[in-house]
Amino acid sequence: MPRPIYITTPIYYVNDRPHIGHAYTTIVADLLTRFYRLSDRDAYFVTGTDEHGSKVAEAAQQAGLSEIAFCDQTVETFKTAWENLSLSYDYFLRTTSNRHKQSVQKILEKLHTAKTENGEDVIYSDFYEGLYCTGCEKFITEKELVDGKCPHHKTKPEKLKEKNYFFRLSAFLPRIKELIESDEMQILPEERKREVLGLIGQELGDFSLSRERVKWGIPLPFDKNQSAYVWIDALSNYITAVGYGDDPDSFDKWWTKGEVIHLMAKDILKFHCLYWPAMLMAAGLELPDKMFLHGFFTVDGDKMSKTLGNQIDPNEMVAFYGADATRYLLLTQFPLGVDGDVQAKRFITQYNSDLANDLGNLVSRVIKMVLVNCGGKIPAPHKEIEGLDALMAQAEELAERSYAHIKHFRVTNAIGDAISLVRATNKFFNDRAPWKLVKEGKTDELGGILYACCEVIRIVSILLYPVMPGKMTEIRSVLSLDSASLTLANARTFFELVPGTKVKLDQPVFPRIKEEKEAKTGAPAPAEKEDDNLLDISEFGKVELRVAEVLKAEKVEGADRLLKLQIDIGSEKRQVVAGVAEHYSPDKIMGMKVVVVTNLKPATIRGVESRGMLLAAKKGKKLTLVTVADDIPAGAKIS
């Protein structure tokens, strides 16, 4: 039996909002998990959130919530995004859970009594000296200062010393170096391996393992005045999740005996490739087998950041393209491992080309011909068809090739090979021109061509299932296939489809999207009706318009164009997010009587709930809100 496989993503900071960077790693992990499961490997997939530390405490304070209430609220944004993307994780780890706290305390106890090879204590206490901002209640680095002052409080930080516990990293580095060099612990891609080895060469010092002044954290079991440094807390999640503290059988299966793969981007290399193995070695635990550090991507040339407001929300993409196409588009932007620039405006073109024109079209044209010419049943195969041998050979080797690609994290190659097969099949279809055979009454040959095309569709539905589980299930149901035959083994051979099986096609699997509806960064334009823009009077009547008075207005953090408004619509008070900040300051809009669409489903925009939409007139760059005279009361209905 092959070893079970344990796949992890980083646990994301809960004070951020999920964006496509987080989504990317998590989709890759989901893809790997699903792929290994298809090949009959037992796989376990864990993701989660990193919830301790001063930044979370600050964010909670700003939101006027207790730390845990803030975490409870924001963790849901991650869970919702992952659900929208059809991510099938087995366990969601929160560092504030009791399970994790107990596990961290257990590992800390273990480290506290551990000795290095030279018999020294792995943990020792010493003084940490740094610049401390009393306003922020934390140490800040020289780099963060602006004109020698804290950028938030504009005050000079004081030099302060506090007692800390340190982890004797230096004692473990020679062995870690050997393990990385020999690939016993594989750091991938090669460039990242060189980077870690380079870091080891720089004689890193020991690292501080606790903080006295950070209160929002897990207390050290041997000194309750100190809390565990965020990285000790965070990295331990990987063992908590499989039962380090409470489930020895599971821990043995997944951690000790399993193949452990950590996925992340290159930003957190030092912690994972050096701190984490050192901690595990000191605690006498197995090391991970592989760590894959993929590239970091920018959006339209800029680093994604809250302040720039250019983070692309995966939920917005899902709303526009659906979960499957979003997964496909994100996974195929550039090879896993390299840095790249995401240009959202290219998404529609790529969707139309790969999914609508190539894959979707193959399914539609083949199934339509089966419906019209073969009584809606899969015809019998026929071997004497020009080009069939080559097509079959390409189809039958796809499973093996994809497995090899996935094993080596060549995600875009695995997907690219499947799409190439689809293109080859479209070409085969065109070259054989089955519509001519209909006229000539050559039904055997016609059936053989259609059978072969259905077989390719079936094989592709298996190999692209880990990328687009929903759409591939839909395609499989077109061919009346269920999940029992959804295995890699079934993708290895042709002639699996049983002639006579019914097919059905209710709608195109990947409908085309109009190209001129260009997607802007992170906010794809909503789909428009294809041909008819005219509304029925009854349709217009469904829109409820009311006069509202703006009671309060403020900017939405990290979004230059948005204002968060509290409005009075007569019967109730509501919150609305409006994209008018470039035209109206909060002061200017306050007190205005505006017109609001009140019967829309609530939406979440940049993490803020919005229940309604303001009407505005727009000409060129000028935008003016539709207002009403002051004597019209809030709540008045506009008809």
Query: What SS3 state is found at 268?
Result: helix
Give the residue carrying structure tokens 């000191």.
Answer: 282
Closer to ligand MSP by Cβ: residue 100 or 583: 100
**Residue 71 falls in the annotated catalytic set:** no
Say if CB 580 and CB 567 are below 8 A apart: no
Say if CB 44 and CB 91 are below 8 A apart: yes
Q: CB within 8 A of 602, min separation 6: which ones? A: 609, 610, 611
Q: How would you class 287 by CB atoms within 10 Å of its CB: exposed for 0-12, middle for 13-18, buried for 19 or more?
A: middle
**Residue 593 falls in the annotated catalytic set:** no
Q: Which of 80, 88, 76 is CA-nearest to residue 29?
A: 88
Closer to ligand MSP by Cβ: residue 46 or 556: 46
90: left (phi over 0), alpha (psi -120 to 50) or beta: alpha
**Residue 374 falls in the annotated catalytic set:** no
Query: What is the CA angle 388-389-391, rounded to 5?
Result: 65
Exactly one of 19, 52, 471, 564 is catalytic; name it.
Answer: 19
Closer to ligand MSP by Cβ: residue 26 or 610: 26
The DSSP output letter for 519 is P
Closer to ligand MSP by Cβ: residue 128 or 334: 334
Closer to ligand MSP by Cβ: residue 39 or 237: 237
Selected from 11, 550, 562, 595, the binder of ligand MSP by CB under 6 A is 11
Selected from 6, 7, 17, 24, the binder of ligand MSP by CB under 6 A is 24
**Residue 306 falls in the annotated catalytic set:** yes
Q: Which of 580, 579, 554, 581 is CA-nearest to residue 565?
A: 554
Closer to ligand MSP by Cβ: residue 139 or 276: 276
**Residue 133 falls in the annotated catalytic set:** yes
Exactly one of 136, 273, 374, 453 is catalytic; name it.
Answer: 136
How do beta strands 207-208 and 219-220 pair? Answer: unpaired
258 scored as a contact of ligand MSP (CB under 6 A): no
Closer to ligand MSP by Cβ: residue 264 or 398: 264
Selected from 91, 92, 222, 296, the binder of ligand MSP by CB under 6 A is 296
275 scored as a contact of ligand MSP (CB under 6 A): no
16 scored as a contact of ligand MSP (CB under 6 A): yes
Q: How far is the CB of 100 from ligand MSP (least distance, A)?
A: 11
CA 436 and chain centroid, separation: 46
Q: Which H or E run includes 613?
A: strand 613-614
Selected from 6, 13, 207, 584, the binder of ligand MSP by CB under 6 A is 13
609 scored as a contact of ligand MSP (CB under 6 A): no
Structure tokens at 328: 């496909």
C-alpha torsion 379→383→384→385, nearest 10: 70
Beta bridge partners of 299: 302, 342
Closer to ligand MSP by Cβ: residue 24 or 320: 24
How many chain residues touch ligand MSP (CB under 6 A)?
20
Report the distance separating Cα 482 and Cα 463, nearest Å: 15
Closer to ligand MSP by Cβ: residue 73 or 485: 73
Binding to ligand MSP by CB under 6 A, coded x per residue (else -) over 208-247, reads: --------------------------xx-x----------
With contacts defined by CB under 6 A, name the span among 13-21, 68-76, 353-361, 432-440 that binds ligand MSP. 13-21
Structure tokens at 226: 């100190």
Q: CB within 8 A of 630, min separation 6: which ones? A: 593
Give Cα separations from 536 to 258, 426, 546 (angstroms): 61, 41, 21
Report the distance separating Cα 517 and Cα 514, nearest Å: 6
Say if CB 395 and CB 496 are below 8 A apart: no
With contacts defined by CB under 6 A, name the span among 81-89, 264-272, 416-424, 538-546 that binds ligand MSP. 264-272
**3-state SS string for 565-588:** EEEECCCCEEEEEECCCCCCCHHH
264 scored as a contact of ligand MSP (CB under 6 A): yes
Q: How far is the CB of 392 from ligand MSP (least distance, A)?
A: 39
56 scored as a contact of ligand MSP (CB under 6 A): no
Binding to ligand MSP by CB under 6 A, coded x per residue (else -) over 559-598, reads: ----------------------------------------
Structure tokens at 126: 């010493």
Residue with smallest beta-carbon separation from ligand MSP = 21
Exactly one of 161, 163, 215, 303 is catalytic; name it.
Answer: 303
Q: How far is the CB of 510 from ligand MSP (least distance, A)?
A: 26
Looking at the annotation, which residues are catalytic? Answer: 19, 22, 133, 136, 150, 153, 303, 306
- Give me the residues that bind ligand MSP (CB under 6 A), please: 10-13, 16, 21-22, 24-25, 50, 234-235, 237, 264-265, 267-268, 296-297, 304
